[in-house]
Amino acid sequence: MDKRRLVYPRSWMLVCLTCLVLLAIGVIGLEKPLAAEGEPLPAFEPGQVMVKLRPEGRAQADEVAARHGATVIEDLTSGWYLLAVPNGQEQAAIVDLLRDELVSAAELNYRIISFMGLGLRSSHLESFPTFRLQPDQLTGGAQLASAANDPQFPAQWNLIRIRVASQYLDEPSAWDYTTGGSNIIIAILGTGIDRNHPDLKDKLLPGYDFVNKDDDPSEDGMGFGTMQAGIAAAISNNHLGVAGASWGARILPVKVLDSKTGGNYATVIKGINYAVDQKANIINMSFSGYDSNYQALQEAINYAVSRGALPIASVGEKGAEPELRTPYPAALNGVLGVTATDRNDVRLPSSGHGPFVDVAAPGEDIIGTYCENDYRGYATGYGSEFAAPQVSGVAALIWSMNPTLKATEVARIIKESARDLGPSGPGEDYDYGLVDAMAGVMKTPHYLEVNRPFLHFGQAGNMIQPSQYTITNTYTSAPTWVVTTTADWLMASQPTVNVPSTVTISITPGAEHGCDSRSAQAHVTSLMEQTVTKTITLNAILRYNRPCPVRVYVPWIGYNQRNKNR
């Protein structure tokens, strides 16, 4: 969606501190408010402003700041700097800075917040109940699909609703074609991610903590970032806990929110830039700011998109505000804005809606990994903050089908393949509709890539070495490809169903005895309707350790001819 119509004119009136009404979250039966009672979060960071210097002024940042009674806190990159100014003088400092010919823009460092809908319900790792469908819940002769063996998978209704997974064997789903490649990185910008959660720890990249300014983003006092990570890409099919939308995607923890799930534009900008520089494909942001002065944030998004990353953001919870306001970064150009729906595909009453919505995803009773201090387990959540990570997981599946896609192409596929929930065409409640992973995967041109350019077999004694070759399709599963051979002496197995998917190519029994050499071809073919490359041909040769006998023709000389020669 082109969201330029959401740009509002700036006003340099004094900004009043706005008291944000925070939703309490229920954790293990206790109320845990996001801020102390009677302690409203400020609308912007006191004593801070963000300023953009023209190229010729960037080497003089300290001098420019000093001329206006400010000091440089840090370089936010791309010409933006975070400055310290006297408390209560933020707006006056901006007016003063904008008079400087070396300054091209100046903004307040606005706060962002993540409202966790109606809250979290959690349970300990060892005591979380196991959900299983009973025989009387099966209809007709259908069989329960074993898409994932995680104990809580049958309760993850949302994955079935958006066709990431299927409930019955005769129902196709995205996981039939790909469960996600490890080449895709999802950056989770949030409260940090618990490094020791057993359903996450083997998938986590190092990451960074921009709140405490260190390289340990594992402190997640709210458990919020940990939950987002599990929804998007928990370790799956491991007989433990939950399944992530993408089994293969790796997770980059980027802590930009504090223990009250609060942060600011400057911290988010640093987090976005860091995620891009760490080669993240997808940047998940389940939080919102509500002020329309967002040039610095938009430029960070522009940088992400220009470097091939796809920003995805929740549209927030309108129930947490006295009136509906435009959420950022969801409303920015280049960001995929996600609202939340219930089990009936109806927008949650508390979830944001408006022209900033691109797609919807389930946001009711969403199960994910969870932690709080030394406690590790799982929780169910409610709201668009839990819908956005599902879309991030779906984006990872689409990118696994074709890792050569641009971020804008992945976003287009997600939107165009969504199931319309409105009466006709896009609407402000759902815009393109409910994300549909299966339709998105089928709409993606399949990029077929294998790990070998040729096959070379040789005879050693009475053995053929190597005995076989393993051909690996890195990104997709068995239904997407097949290998055939052009000679009887060369045979290929059926593809394995996992990702990466493999085929074994070997010599047909009996063909190990021969002489000289034989040649043939193995054709690796995509079975998808839309493909980038339909067939890859691998040349195969089998060399024996002895030459074939040379037959010499000697003309036969008969008895009469021999007598004549005497």
- The domain segmentation of the chain, as residue ranges, is 119-123+179-443, 454-543
Confidence of residue 375 (pLDDT cuts 50, 70, 90): confident
Confidence at 564, pLDDT banded by 50, 70, 90: low
**Is the dihedral angle over the CA atoms 123, 126, 127, 133 positive or is it negative?**
positive
Highest mean pLDDT among 109-113, 133-137, 208-212: 208-212
Cα–Cα distance, 231 to 31 (Å, whole number): 24
Strands, sheet with 262-264, edge to edge from the N-terminal-most edge strand:
71-77, 80-84, 44-53, 103-113, 262-264
Percent of the chain with pLDDT over 90: 62
Q: Considering only the top CATH level, what class is 119-123+179-443?
A: alpha beta
| Tens-digit pLDDT profile for residues 427-484 | 566 778 999 999 999 999 999 988 888 999 998 888 899 999 999 998 899 999 999 9
What residue has token string 């197995």? Answer: 493
How far apart (Å, rounded) are the C-alpha atoms in residues 333 and 391? 17
Lowest-confidence region among 386-395, 417-426, 547-556 = 417-426
| Residue 170 confidence (pLDDT) | 78
| Cα–Cα distance measured from residue 474 to residue 501, given in angstroms and rounded to the nearest whole number | 7
Please list the alpha-helical segments (H only) found in 183-241: 224-233
**Count of alpha carbons within 13 Å of 86, Cβ hemisphere only?**
8
User: What does the pLDDT look like over 146-203, one tens digit per residue?
Assistant: 478 899 998 999 999 999 999 877 789 999 999 999 999 999 999 999 999 999 999 9
| Per-residue b or e along 527-541, where b marks 16 or more CB atoms closer than 10 Å to that residue's CB | bbeebbeeebebebe
Residues 132, 134, 139, CA angle at the centre, nearest 5°?
A: 120
Per-residue pLDDT at 319: 43
For the beta carbon of residue 356, count every other beta carbon within 10 angstroms.
25
Residue 119 pLDDT > 60, yes or no? no
Q: Dihedrals φ, ψ of 275, to 5°?
A: -60, -40
Instruction: Please report the beta strands in 315-442, taking only residues with DSSP state E, as ranges in sequence order.
Output: 336-341, 359-362, 366-372, 375-382
pLDDT at 424 over 60: no
Res 373 pLDDT > 90: no
pLDDT number for residue 144: 36
Identical fold, 119-123+179-443 and 454-543? no
For the chain, the 3-state helix, strand and coil shares in percent, each to the nearest 5, are 20, 30, 50
Alpha helix segments (H runs only) across 460-555: none
Q: Give the residue from 235, 229, 255 showing the smallest Cα distance to 247.
A: 235
Cross-strand pairs, 456:
541
| Cβ pair 44, 106 in contact under 8 A | no
pTM for the structure as a whole: 0.85
Architecture category of domain 454-543 in CATH: Sandwich (2.60)
List, for residues 469-520, the tens digit of each pLDDT value. 999 998 899 999 999 999 999 999 999 988 889 999 999 998 888 889 999 9
Give residue-wise pLDDT tens across range 254-304.
Answer: 999 987 768 999 999 999 999 999 999 999 999 988 776 789 999 999 999
